[in-house]
Structure 1
Amino acid sequence: MTGSTFSRDELVDAFAGFEATVGRAAATRDWDPWVDQYTDDVTYVEHAAGTMHGREQVRPWIWKTMENFPGSYMTSFPSLWTVYDEATGRVLCELDNPMRDPGDGTIISATNISIVTYAGDGKWRRQEDVYNPLRFVAATVKWCGKAEELGTLPDEAAAWMAKFGGMT
């Protein structure tokens, strides 16, 4: 796509709104406002889960992902850096995915690159998340090991470890 009609200021403001909404979703565990920022016909490319077409395909995936371990233990999704490309209406960023403190103040996280394409009026028409799933598995295994060592490993994390912990 070329010839975007969105200025840098509009992209910056729209992405600040996107991040604020995602931050509130993480704090409240209500994922609908996050999904509602996408257009009805959004294309969401998630390399491990596949490509979803339309907001109502994205919605159950986000709810399932974020309400089950390890997503349910991710506390926020702040961008570490951001690039605004006015020519394409895209925002590229590296997102951190920190997990909750296992009990001793340790912060364990993994990052991904997200590319979101703005549609105007506070809506996003495309998102692609680029990352190595094995880095997320390794971070989750590390978190589980620390929680087990501290005696704070919840049953759902222990079940996840039994199923996926040997993948690193």
Structure 2
Amino acid sequence: EDFAAWTQLFVPDVSYHDYFWGPLHGREEVDLWIHAVMKGVPEIYTIYDWHVIEGDRVVFHCQNRRDNPDPDGPPYFDFPGLSVLRYAGDGLWASEEDYWDRDGARRTSVDYRAACERMGVTEARARMTRRHWPEGPEWARTERQPSPSWLSRDDTPGITRPSELAALLASLRV
């Protein structure tokens, strides 16, 4: 969850489009977006499902997972996502497009929030559990405690709405 390092895997003028959040242009916008969004939903982590490579494109499918804090409910809440990346060469990505199930995201958000209320889970650190990694592949999981790079970004607020992102990006787009 080193989003600062992840951002550096893109070319400086990356074209990034998330179909909920909108288009982003350049590493600086992608960096601000990923830190603000993940700070807003610290409970979400990504479970790899599969990928396909053709030419300079990689498509991968994943589950966006929230661990359920309520032991009387399901172990986790998932909603699917699909990303399409274009490779630029030299270890860098030229673009990314993200698609995910918005209705599933809303539904799991409501269910997760209700479970947190029932269990008294309010702090971001308490929401950052990663209890349900799949068995493999080994490179797509970790046993380390979450320590996302946004923890050191006091200047970046957590966001959950596109209007909040637009306000943040306005300062970069002057």
Pick the TM interval, shorter chain: 0.5 to 0.7
Q: Residue 78 of structure 1: SS of its match in structure 2?
A: strand
In structure 2, what is the equivalent of residue 4 of structure 1? none
* TM-aligned CA deviation for residue 80 of structure 1: 0.5
* TM-aligned CA deviation for residue 103 of structure 1: 4.2
Structure 2 residue ranges without an equivalent (≥5): 128-160, 162-174
In structure 1, what is the equivalent of residue 7 of structure 2? 35
* TM-aligned CA deviation for residue 155 of structure 1: 6.5
Within the candidate set 14, 23, 31, 1:51 is matched to 23
Correspondence list, 1:138-149, <5 A? 138-149=107-118
Q: Are residue 63 (structure 1) and residue 35 (structure 2) matched?
A: yes
Within the candidate set 66, 69, 73, 2:43 is matched to 73
Identical counterparts, % of pairs? 25
In structure 2, distance between residues paired with 1:37 and 1:44: 12
In structure 2, what is the equivalent of residue 85 of structure 1? 54
- What is the aligned length? 124
Structure 1 residue ranges without an equivalent (≥5): 1-24, 158-162, 164-168
In structure 1, distance between residues paired with 2:33 and 2:61: 21
Task: Please say if residues 46 and 129 of structure 1, whose CA atoms lie closer than 8 Å, have aligned partners that are also in contact.
Answer: yes
Correspondence list, 1:126-137, <5 A? 126-137=95-106
The structure where helix makes up a greater share of residues is: 1
Relative contact order (alpha carbons < 8 A, sep ≥ 6): 1 or 2 greater? 2
- TM-score of the two chains, using structure 1 as the length reference: 0.67
Q: Are residue 153 (structure 1) and residue 121 (structure 2) matched?
A: yes
Measured on the aligned residues, the alpha-carbon RMSD in Å equals: 2.1
In structure 2, distance between residues paired with 1:114 and 1:72: 20
Task: Please say if residues 79 and 100 of structure 2, whose CA atoms lie closer than 8 Å, have aligned partners that are also in contact.
Answer: no
Task: Please say if residues 102 and 147 of structure 1, whose CA atoms lie closer than 8 Å, have aligned partners that are also in contact.
Answer: yes
- TM-score of the two chains, using structure 2 as the length reference: 0.65
* TM-aligned CA deviation for residue 134 of structure 1: 2.2
Correspondence list, 1:101-140, <5 A? 101-104=68-71, 106-140=75-109
In structure 1, distance between residues paired with 2:70 and 2:6: 29
